[in-house]
């Protein structure tokens, strides 16, 4: 795929460049609680600004239902982008309407504008090719060139990700280039031992990637809510813990395949359990205790891996050459149940391996728990996109950037 450096070498001064970014940041009202995805697109935007392009940034935020919704406005993200750039950023209050056209027309060389949430237009996510294409046509009328740099959305067949690049000369931004380079290191000529840490709530969200990794990884360390379905598949009692009973047969098959393939599949040996799910807003202390992972009391739910499991998992990471981590190991948003996630992050920091934090909640946890992002080999901006790449799927947004 064509790189942004090649695009810059051809000259972009005075040209309108639409950058499909991923500004899908978490919000508390209008306050951004983690600006990592905005900072991730800065190298691309700064390079275009420095070359005199007229930069139009487009993104989605959340899941509005194809119509304007103030709760999902990109206005806070546009303001934060301006702060990080140290320059004013114009904001269009619609996607392809009067405000967008006037805002883009008003740009000078080196100026930046942000369009309102793409998903305020039903054409962005439409399953109908014609409807999606019509919206892509309108977006294309706002620009001369296209740069794809929203890695967190490349697994979606959406108008701004898949259809728009076919309508404009296009290139991959610095973020997408970096993400793809890292993912290739996790799938092609991997340095071993290769350890993968998978957490998160539901095992059903990770079945496909587990299926793929059983033929690639040397070790799979399982935590988070999904661990309890694995424990049940081994015949253990899991109390009131999160459980996907319908996935137990598939998990049993994976346990058998792991053994047959010589893949070390490691499950928690102890968990931190509580009678009630904690209040994540007040973070009030919660009554909890550590119990054996194979005998969680009926009235308790596991909310984190225990100290013995933390030590076990750290030992499995210590001598690895490559480590990929996706998904928190517990309810890290509450201090009483953040120990497991913190211990995994610490193990990655202390490791000499090439370490990759696979986006989403894992990336948020690293920042929330106060770790230096530079201490990791790479922190991805796209959890779902990373997983689908590891599954071996063709990602529409990457395919669209290929020449």
Show binding-site residues for (2R)-3-phosphoglycerate.
37, 119, 156
| Choice among 20, 37, 157, 219 that is catalytic | 37
Contacts 24+ apart (CB under 8 A), 37-43: 37/152, 37/381, 38/77, 38/80, 38/81, 38/84, 39/84, 40/175, 40/381, 41/149, 41/150, 41/173, 41/175, 42/84, 42/85, 43/173, 43/174, 43/175
| Choice among 39, 80, 101, 202 that is catalytic | 202
Nearest 5°: phi and psi at 49? -60, -45
Cβ(268)–Cβ(238) below 8 Å: no
Q: Is 360 a catalytic residue?
A: yes
Helix crossing, 339-350 with 360-368: angle to 10°? Answer: 90
> 259: buried, middle or exposed (CB in 10 Å: 19+, 13-18, 0-12)?
exposed
Tell me whether strands 354-357 and 378-379 are parallel, antiparallel or unpaired.
parallel
Q: Is 370 left (phi over 0), alpha (psi -120 to 50) or beta?
A: left
| Choice among 123, 360, 383, 397 that is catalytic | 360
The encoded tokens of residue 11 equal 């000259």
Q: Is 2 a catalytic residue?
A: no
Q: Is 202 a catalytic residue?
A: yes
Three-class SS of residue 91?
A: strand
Three-class SS of residue 352?
A: coil
Give the residue ranges of the annotated binding site for ATP.
206, 302, 333, 359-362
Instruction: From residue 169, give the alpha-carbon distance in Å to each of 33, 144, 206, 281, 289.
Output: 35, 8, 36, 46, 58
Cβ(403)–Cβ(2) below 8 Å: yes
Rounded Cα distance, 217 and 371, in Å: 26
Q: Is 80 a catalytic residue?
A: no
Give the residue ranges of the annotated binding site.
22-24, 37, 60-63, 119, 156, 206, 302, 333, 359-362
Rounded Cα distance, 11 and 348, in Å: 41
Give the residue ranges of the annotated binding site for substrate.
22-24, 37, 60-63, 119, 156
Which residues have CB under 8 Å from 55's CB, separation 6+? 17, 19, 45, 48, 49, 107, 111, 112, 113
Rounded Cα distance, 246 and 259, in Å: 22
Three-class SS of residue 254?
A: helix
Residue positions annotated with a catalytic role: 37, 202, 360, 384
């Amino acid at each position: 795929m064509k790189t942004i450096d090649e695009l810059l070498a051809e000259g972009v001064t005075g040209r309108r460049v639409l950058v499909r970014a991923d500004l899908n940041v978490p919000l508390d009202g209008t306050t951004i609680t983690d600006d990592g995805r905005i900072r991730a697109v800065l190298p691309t935007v700064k390079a275009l600004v420095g070359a005199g392009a007229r930069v139009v940034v487009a993104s989605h935020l959340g899941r509005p239902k194809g119509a304007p919704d103030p709760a999902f406005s990109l206005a806070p993200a546009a303001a934060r982008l301006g702060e990080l750039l140290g320059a004013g950023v114009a904001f269009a209050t619609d996607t392809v309407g009067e405000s967008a056209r006037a805002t883009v027309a008003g740009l000078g060389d080196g100026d930046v504008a942000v369009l309102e949430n793409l998903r305020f237009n039903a054409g962005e996510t439409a399953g109908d090719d014609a409807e999606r294409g019509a919206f892509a046509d309108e977006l294309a009328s706002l620009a001369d060139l296209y740069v794809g740099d929203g890695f967190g959305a490349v697994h979606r067949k959406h108008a701004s990700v898949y259809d728009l690049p076919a309508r404009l000369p296009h290139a991959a931004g610095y973020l997408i280039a970096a993400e793809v380079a890292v993912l290739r290191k996790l799938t092609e000529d991997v340095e071993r031992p290769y350890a993968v840490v998978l957490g998160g709530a539901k095992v059903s969200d990770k079945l496909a990637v587990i299926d793929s990794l059983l033929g690639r990884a040397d070790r799979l360390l399982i935590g988070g809510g999904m661990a309890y379905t694995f424990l049940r598949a081994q015949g253990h009692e899991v109390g009131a813990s999160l459980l996907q009973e319908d996935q137990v047969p598939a998990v049993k098959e994976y346990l058998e395949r792991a053994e047959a393939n010589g893949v070390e599949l490691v499950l928690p040996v102890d968990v931190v359990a509580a009678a009630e799910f904690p209040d994540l807003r007040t973070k009030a202390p919660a009554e909890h205790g550590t119990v054996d992972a194979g005998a969680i009391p009926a009235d308790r739910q596991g909310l984190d891996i225990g100290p013995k499991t933390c030590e076990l998992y750290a030992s499995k990471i210590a001598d690895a050459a490559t480590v990929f981590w996706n998904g928190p190991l517990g309810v890290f948003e509450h201090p009483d149940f953040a120990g497991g996630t913190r211990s995994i992050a610490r193990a990655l920091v202390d490791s000499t391996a090439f370490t990759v934090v696979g986006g989403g909640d894992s990336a948020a946890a690293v920042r929330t728990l106060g770790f230096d992002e530079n201490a990791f080999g790479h922190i991805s901006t796209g959890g779902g996109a990373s997983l689908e790449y590891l599954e071996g799927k063709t990602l529409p947004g990457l395919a669209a950037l290929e020449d």
